[in-house]
Amino acid sequence: MLTRTRKIWDVIDHRATDEALVTNRRKLLAGMGMGTIGLSFIGRAHAQEAGSLIAPELYPGERNPAFTLDRPLTEEKLATTYNNFYEFGGSKDIVDAAQALTIKPWTLTIDGMVEQTVEMDVGDIVRRLPIEERLYRHRCVEAWSMDVPWSGFPLKVLLDLARPQGSAKYVRFETFLNPDEAPAQQQSWYPWPYIEGLSIAEAGNDLAFIATGMYGKPLLKQNGAPIRLVTPWKYGFKSIKSIRKITLTDQRPVSYWEELGPSEYGFWANVNPEVPHPRWSQAYERPLGDFGSVPTRLFNGYAEQVASLYSGMEGEQLFM
Ligand SMILES: Nc1nc2c(c(=O)[nH]1)N[C@H]1C(S)=C(S)[C@@H](COP(=O)(O)O)O[C@H]1N2
Ligand SMILES: [Mo]
């Protein structure tokens, strides 16, 4: 019998392997003069039926000029076809599989240490909260990156609907659990559902964003429709997709990747080029659509906004 640990290592190795395979495939296609998008990808970004999108008329919202970029946006087709969404499989090519997810209706619950438990349909939430657009960098722990126009609202604005109590120290996020629609969730050695967490201070930072759209439209299923977190100073796995439940708590949540590989994926997961992943360097990254690499920046370039959150915490494993 395989031990759980053995299986976990298979899973984690799978990540690096997939990345290498996709990179080779992209190089091959580029060499054939097809550019950076594989043939099988073309046209699929919009496979999702228009009728299943939530409130498209609200997007993109007004662009917030405080959040701009010093490098070009990633091509929409790449950002919507090269995905990590383990509920739909361990490869980057999960667009078709993700279309099985039912997102209408979708109830989001905010509970735990709050004055008022909230259970609201995401359609009602996006009609109630003002939608804005922000351009953010995204750095995956696997060392690829992208630059995306997200639409949504600050996490704090969402949490305030439930009025968190003063005793709450952490925010715990939980993705859907539905093995019928997401077959990889039938694999019992993964700790489903996908969980993530932030400290209250992190959640209250203006950079912590809830996205319900990208590229001027409602989020596509492969990108975490109908509602996901975006924390651009942290490795991408913190940006949990398709959230069902948000719980205010005084216990530090153990995230999905931390549960699978605690020596590889920690709670804080702040981007730092000087702290290598145990199996690869984090000094450089490859922007999607580029074949070259560029240096990775401390806190993914957001040190000015977030470094103060971590002063006095040098003893913590901040960057894993
Ligand atoms: N529920 C869930 N959220 C998730 C993931 C996942 O597998 N499941 N993958 C994470 C990782 S590793 C990254 S890099 C980003 C990828 O987001 P994208 O596919 O929109 O680029 O989603 C994050 N959120
Ligand atoms: Mo990632």
pLDDT digits (tens, 9 = 90+) for 17-65: 334 333 333 343 343 333 333 434 444 444 555 567 899 999 999 999 9
Report whether pLDDT(68) > 80: yes
Q: Tell which atom from ligand 1 comes closest to the C-alpha of 222.
A: 19
- pLDDT confidence bin for 315, thresholds 50/70/90: confident
Q: Please indicate whether residue 288, judged by its CB atom, sits closer than 6 Å to ligand 1.
A: no
6 compared with 223, residue with greater pLDDT: 223
Q: Which residue puts its alpha carbon closest to atom 5 of ligand 1? A: 85
Cα 284–Cα 69–Cα 152 angle in degrees, nearest 5: 110
Q: Give mean pLDDT, residues 150-176.
A: 98
173 compared with 16, residue with greater pLDDT: 173
Mean pLDDT of the chain: 88
pLDDT digits (tens, 9 = 90+) for 117-140: 999 999 999 999 999 999 999 999
Name the strand (E) or helix (H) holding 119: strand 118-121
| Cα 235 to ligand 2 centre (Å) | 6
Distance separating alpha carbons of residues 231 and 213, to the nearest angstrom:
15
Instruction: Please give the pLDDT value at position 53.
Output: 85
Instruction: Please give the pLDDT value at position 225.
Output: 98
Q: Please indicate whether residue 237, judged by its CB atom, sits closer than 6 Å to ligand 1.
A: yes
Q: Give mean pLDDT, residues 108-119.
A: 98
Q: Give mean pLDDT, residues 254-260.
A: 97
CA dihedral 215, 174, 204, 112 (to 10 degrees): 140
Q: Which residue puts its alpha carbon closest to atom 6 of ligand 1? A: 85
Substitution candidate for ligand 1 out of 219, 239, 271 with most atoms within 8 A of CB: 239
- Residue 7's alpha-carbon distances to 77, 189, 210, 258, 295, in angstroms, are 33, 7, 33, 15, 33
- Residue 276's alpha-carbon distances to 50, 105, 293, in angstroms, are 42, 42, 16
Q: Tell which atom from ligand 1 comes closest to the C-alpha of 235.
A: 14
Q: Tell which atom from ligand 1 comes closest to the C-alpha of 79.
A: 21
Instruction: Please give the pLDDT value at position 317.
Output: 82
Report whether pLDDT(16) > 70: no
Name the residue among 9, 53, 3, 40 with its Cα closest to residue 223.
53
Name the strand (E) or helix (H) holding 133: strand 132-139
Q: Please indicate whether residue 82, judged by its CB atom, sits closer than 6 Å to ligand 1.
A: no
Question: Do 239 and 223 touch, CB atoms closer than 8 A?
Answer: no
Report the share of the chain in percent with pLDDT over 90.
81
Write a three-state SS string for 230-281: ECCCEEHHHCCCCEEEEEEECCCCCCHHHHHCCCCCCCCCECCCCCCECCEC
Q: Please indicate whether residue 80, judged by its CB atom, sits closer than 6 Å to ligand 1.
A: no
Q: State pTM to two decimals.
A: 0.88
Question: Do 319 and 272 touch, CB atoms closer than 8 A?
Answer: yes
Q: Please indicate whether residue 255, judged by its CB atom, sits closer than 6 Å to ligand 1.
A: no
118 Cβ neighbours under 8 A, 6+ residues apart: 108, 109, 110, 111, 161, 162
Q: Tell which atom from ligand 1 comes closest to the C-alpha of 214.
A: 20
Q: Give mean pLDDT, residues 59-80.
A: 97
Q: Which residue puts its alpha carbon closest to atom 15 of ligand 1? A: 236
Question: Domain locations in the chain?
Answer: 54-310
Q: Which residue puts its alpha carbon closest to atom 12 of ligand 1? A: 237
Q: Which residue puts its alpha carbon closest to atom 21 of ligand 1? A: 83
In the chain, where does DSSP find H-type helix? 4-31, 76-79, 95-98, 122-128, 155-159, 200-204, 256-260, 303-306
Question: Do 149 and 196 touch, CB atoms closer than 8 A?
Answer: no
Q: Give mean pLDDT, residues 6-19.
A: 42
Q: Give mean pLDDT, residues 204-211.
A: 98
pLDDT digits (tens, 9 = 90+) for 260-313: 999 999 999 999 999 999 999 999 999 999 999 999 999 999 999 999 999 999
Q: Give mean pLDDT, residues 61-82.
A: 97
Q: Tell which atom from ligand 1 comes closest to the C-alpha of 140.
A: 14
Question: Do 195 and 277 touch, CB atoms closer than 8 A?
Answer: no
* CATH for 54-310, options being 3.90.420.10, 1.10.10.10, 3.40.50.1980, 3.50.50.60: 3.90.420.10
Q: Give mean pLDDT, residues 152-178.
A: 98
| Cα 236 to ligand 2 centre (Å) | 4
Distance separating alpha carbons of residues 108 and 245, to the nearest angstrom:
6
Instruction: Please give the pLDDT value at position 257.
Output: 97
- pLDDT confidence bin for 11, thresholds 50/70/90: very low
Q: Please indicate whether residue 221, judged by its CB atom, sits closer than 6 Å to ligand 1.
A: no
- pLDDT confidence bin for 10, thresholds 50/70/90: very low
Between the two ends of the chain, the Cα-to-Cα distance in Å is 31
| Cα 228 to ligand 1 centre (Å) | 9
Count other C-beta atoms under 10 Å from residue 127's C-beta. Answer: 13
Instruction: Please give the pLDDT value at position 18.
Output: 38
Instruction: Please give the pLDDT value at position 44.
Output: 46
Instruction: Please give the pLDDT value at position 316.
Output: 85
